[in-house]
Amino acid sequence: MAENLSPTQGTDTPLILKLARWIAGDFSNQKQAFENPKDYAHIRVFFRPLPFDFFSGIGFYSEQSYDYDLWTPYRQGIHRFVGQDDRVYIENYSLKDAFLYAGSGHEPEILKTIKPDCIERRHNCSMIFKPDGERFLGGVEGKCCFIERNGIKTYLVSEVELTETTFISWDRGFDLDTHEQVWGSAKGPLKFEKRQSFAHELN
């Protein structure tokens, strides 16, 4: 599994490069939000490539924010791509003092200030992606990625579908004991369309 992969195992395979090129970009669910504003806010998601030497391989910074307040993201992360056989593992990391790097998704000068000693591994929270025709399907490994919300310990269920131009994501948290949904959309996934590609920034 991802927890046991060596630092350099499968970091530049064609499968990883394809996934990286597709996910590198600025995504918006504007169409979904405008069609159904009661259920969906207008959200922007940025996946910005990190310099190759950050992980000695492919890595990304990501942030999600409401379109009206891009400088105050409500979610930020660092992601390291590692391949094995017919799948891609994406290791997830949190940022220490994440507020210092807010805006890195759309401001490359801030992105440059992120260093490897600024991050901490989120164990058991890696995503596993597999190709499926003209798309990638991804999900969080197991049920041990724990997130506390409103005093309740939940496990994360994350489902992703990625194409060259779209990103569909559905994150939900479930109670450890009752397995009832505690947080996340009850209406369905967020559906994003790529506004701008950052694939040219991949080394």
73-105 pLDDT per residue, tens? 999 999 999 988 889 999 999 999 999 999 999
pLDDT tens by residue, 103-138: 999 999 999 999 999 999 999 999 999 999 999 999
**Residue spans per domain, the chain:** 2-201
Specify the CATH number of the domain 2-201.
2.40.128.590
For the chain, the DSSP string reads -GGG--TTTTSS-HHHHHHHHHH-EEEE-HHHHHH-TTT---EEEEEEEPPGGGTTS-EEEEEEEETT-TTS-SEEEEEEEEEETTEEEEEEEEETTGGGGTTTTT-HHHHTT--GGGEEE-TT--EEEEE-SSSEEEEESTT--EEEETTEEEEEEEEEEE-SSEEEEEEEEEETTT--EEEE-SS--EEEEEEEE-GGG--
pLDDT tens by residue, 4-48: 444 445 566 899 999 999 999 999 999 999 999 999 999 999 999
